[in-house]
Amino acid sequence: MRVLVVGGGGREHALAWKIAKSPLVDKIFCAPGNAGIAQLAECVPIQATEIAGLVDFAERNRIGLTVVGPEAPLIAGIVDAFEARGLPIFGPSTDPARLEGSKTFAKELMQAAGIPTAAYWTCRSLAEAQAIVRAYYTQNGPEVGIVIKADGIAAGKGVIVAGSQAEAEAGLLRIMGERVFGAAGDVVVIEERLYGEETSIMAITDGETIIPLVPSQDHKRVGEGDTGPNTGGMGAYSPVPGIPEDTASVVMERILRPAVRAVRELGIPYRGVLYAGIIVTADGPKCIEFNCRLGDPETQAVLPLLESDLVPLLMGVTDCTLDKQEVRWRGGASASVTAVSKGYPGEYEIGKVISGLELFVGQEDCLVFHGGTRLEDGRTVTDGGRVLSVTGLADDLRAAVARAYEGLDRLHFEGMSFRRDIAARALQSVD
Ligand code: AMP
Ligand code: GLY
């Protein structure tokens, strides 16, 4: 079978790497791919959001399965377009993808389905939002935190976690006044701030059966000690030792199952990956967001732990036979650390030569997944903010983290930076 992977980041590199191990697959294409993916797949110069071009490509090249990495094409209707032409594709169609595309839709669905989540208010004007923030602080006192979220998608960066009223009001001015996220700031969702350990639980579902992947934890802030602005993700590890052991099963019963059922009852079943962003509060796990796809860099941490062939799972979704599939995990732990360009998540330069990549050839327990990279005159150069992730695998988390950092220390590009504290809090909790 021929498989097309849509996207060109570290998540798509990890997907292509895992799919390439399947005996069911003869050839992989990737649109648009990157320099690392090009070692496993034929990269085609079609952007992930050029839906018509991707449909034509899949039809002409007799693609048996298309797997979509990023959210933008899912929200824009890539699955609907492929299905209209009878082409098998893994991911939710536009309607269910609103779980990520619209925070208000997600919140309303959570409330209707009784899914535990933070209290929230939807605001359509700056004045309304300012009034909500003031009333919240009048009622709860100056000690509490509050969260401001631009309603549209803003690449994971449209969220301000405020510790005080002044910070919250400054955030509102940025999102709704200055429009730093553009039209994503037309509507904001204001939320009660939850406190507790965060975890991501990604599940594969065909709308009936749900197979959860091992829990992972992302590190969203750019700086060590969780400081500085939010990013797409600076590193992840899996599993997560700092949360109660029953977290995954509680999330399954109280969050994933009710969400999949509620979407099905709206008419179009959810098929693909449903990603629940969780904060494990003193009252148990609460859902802070849904994503309609795999996380980046969570995928680079989770997929290397999957022992089973991924392709039958993906196909079990496209032909609704997921109940026939079994999943095996290899045990142990993984840690994936993302190296970024100087200046990220603000402005950064690209085109810097990356050295040391050849040292990873043949390595099984230290893997490099490329994000923003491209080939230029036979050399691999940086081409984005998040440049690459190094995943270490080992029997325990401490060894996995050490392996990831040993790997990173062998790599170099001008302006390269990464967080030195991925999984540090989790390691303290297992001491
Ligand atoms: P989101 O884009 O909704 O995932 O939010 C980005 C990040 O903001 C999350 O990963 C959390 O770290 C944080 N966050 C979002 N909502 C809340 C909340 N209600 N309470 C505390 N932190 C939150
Ligand atoms: N790493 C967060 C995300 O992919 O949404």
125-142 pLDDT, tens digit each:
999 999 999 999 999 999
Kindly state the average pLDDT of the residues 298-327: 97
The pLDDT tens digits for 214-231 are: 999 999 999 999 999 889
Give the residue with greater pLDDT, 342 vs 157: 342
- Which atom, in ligand 2's list, is nearest to the CA of 233? 1
Do 36 and 88 reside in the same domain of the chain?
A: yes
Nearest CA to ligand 1 atom 18: 193
pLDDT in the model for residue 156? 54
The structure tokens listed for 370 are 């490329």
- Which atom, in ligand 2's list, is nearest to the CA of 275? 5
The Cα 357–Cα 377 span in angstroms is: 16
The Cα 177–Cα 309 span in angstroms is: 49
Which residue out of 149, 200, 340 has the highest number of ligand 2 atoms within 8 Å of its CB and is therefore the one to mutate?
Answer: 200
Do 10 and 86 reside in the same domain of the chain?
A: yes
Evaluate if residue 154 carries a pLDDT over 90: no
The pLDDT tens digits for 348-370 are: 999 999 999 999 998 999 999 99
Closest CA to 345 of 149, 180, 176, 190: 180
Do 10 and 54 reside in the same domain of the chain?
A: yes
The Cα 199–Cα 202 span in angstroms is: 10
Evaluate if residue 185 carries a pLDDT over 90: no
Average pLDDT of the chain, as a whole number:
95
Do 10 and 61 reside in the same domain of the chain?
A: yes
DSSP string, 85-100: TT--EES--HHHHHHH
Do 69 and 6 reside in the same domain of the chain?
A: yes
Do 30 and 80 reside in the same domain of the chain?
A: yes
Which spans in 352-396 are helix H?
A: none
pLDDT in the model for residue 152? 66
Domain annotation covers residue 67 = yes
Chosen domain end from 164, 186, 208: 186
The pLDDT tens digits for 290-299 are: 999 999 999 9
The Cα 357–Cα 354 span in angstroms is: 7
Ligand 1 center to 161 CA (angstroms):
7
Of all residues in the chain, the percent with pLDDT exceeding 90 is 89
DSSP string, 410-430: T-B-TT-B--S-TTHHHHHHH
Do 12 and 81 reside in the same domain of the chain?
A: yes
Ligand 1 within 6 A of 234 CB? Answer: no
Quote the pTM value: 0.94
Domain annotation covers residue 429 = no
Chosen domain end from 48, 73, 93: 93
Evaluate if residue 31 carries a pLDDT over 70: yes
Which ligand number lies closest to the CA of residue 181?
1
Evaluate if residue 23 carries a pLDDT over 70: yes
Binned at pLDDT 50, 70 and 90, residue 150 comes out as confident
Chosen domain end from 50, 70, 93: 93
Domain annotation covers residue 13 = yes
The pLDDT tens digits for 371-387 are: 999 999 999 999 999 99
Q: Which domain holds residue 159?
A: 125-186
pLDDT in the model for residue 103? 80
Ligand 2 within 6 A of 383 CB? Answer: no
The Cα 420–Cα 425 span in angstroms is: 12
Domain count, the chain: 2
The pLDDT tens digits for 238-250 are: 999 989 999 999 9
pLDDT in the model for residue 37? 98
Nearest CA to ligand 2 atom 2: 295
Q: Is residue 383 classed as helix, strand or coil in its secondary structure?
A: coil
